[in-house]
Homo-oligomer: A and B are copies of this chain.
C-alpha cells in the first residue's frame, strides 16, 4: 500500500497533522508494520486535499509554528474502505540478520555472537516499545495488532536464545584454511574462535 492509503488510515482514526502522522508511522505504534517520511507524507496530503479526500484546517498557536490539521472527508473515507476491501498485499519481511545467519559459516565466531546479541537486543526493544505505545492509539484494533507483534517477536527471541549455540557452532566452518585479507590479529582470533566453536558444538 502507498503513503496515501496510509495517511487515510491514520486520519480515519483521528485527525492530525503531517508531522504527527510521520511520527506515528515511523516512530509510533504504526511503525512496526508500515513506514513513511516527511518527503512523501506532505505531498500526499496536499494532493489529497486537492482531490477532496481530506480537508485541512489551520491552527495558530503562540510561539509555535502553525499546524495544518487534516481530517478525512466522506469521499476519503469511502476511498479508504475500498482500498481496504480488496485483497491485501503479502507481508514484506527483510532481515539483514537472517542473511548473515545464512552465511554464518563464512563469518568469525565473534561477529556471529555480536550479531546475535544485537538481534536479541533489537527484539527486546521492539517488544518494549509495543507495550508502551498500545495505550496511545485510540483504535480497538491496536491491542490486537500489538498482540500479534508481541507474540511473533517473543517467539523469535525464544528461538534465538534456544538455538544460538547451534549457530555459533557453524561460525567459521566455511573458511577452512582460506586466506583472509583481514589483519593478522583478527586472523588469529578466527583460529581461536574456531576451536571455541568446536567446543561449543561438542557440548
Contacts and interface: CB of A to CB of B under 8 A. Distances in A.
Interface of A: 1, 5-6, 9, 12-13, 30, 32-35, 74-75, 77-78, 80-81, 84-85, 87-108, 111, 115, 118-119, 122, 137, 139-142, 144-145, 147-149, 151-152, 154-156, 158-160, 163, 166-167, 170, 173-174, 179-182
A147 to B, nearest CB: 7
5 contacts: A88-B115, A88-B119, A101-B141, A144-B170, A155-B155
Contacts of A103: 9, 12-13, 84, 139, 141
B140 A163 contact: no
B88 A148 contact: no
Contact of A88 (B100, B173, B182): B100
Contacts of A12: 103, 106
Contacts of A155: 151-152, 154-155
The 3 closest A-B pairs by CB, nearest first: A78-B181, A155-B155, A88-B96
A13 B141 CA distance: 43
Contacts of A32: 93, 98
B97 A88 contact: yes
Contacts of A93: 32-33, 91-94
B159 A151 contact: yes
A87 to B, nearest CB: 6
Given A84-B111, A141-B103, A144-B170, A92 B94 contact: yes
Contacts of A115: 88
A50 B161 CA distance: 42
B163 A159 contact: no
Given A88-B96, A101-B141, 19 more contacts: A9-B99, A33-B93, A33-B94, A33-B98, A34-B95, A35-B94, A84-B103, A84-B111, A88-B115, A88-B118, A90-B122, A91-B94, A92-B95, A103-B141, A105-B140, A144-B170, A148-B159, A148-B160, A152-B152
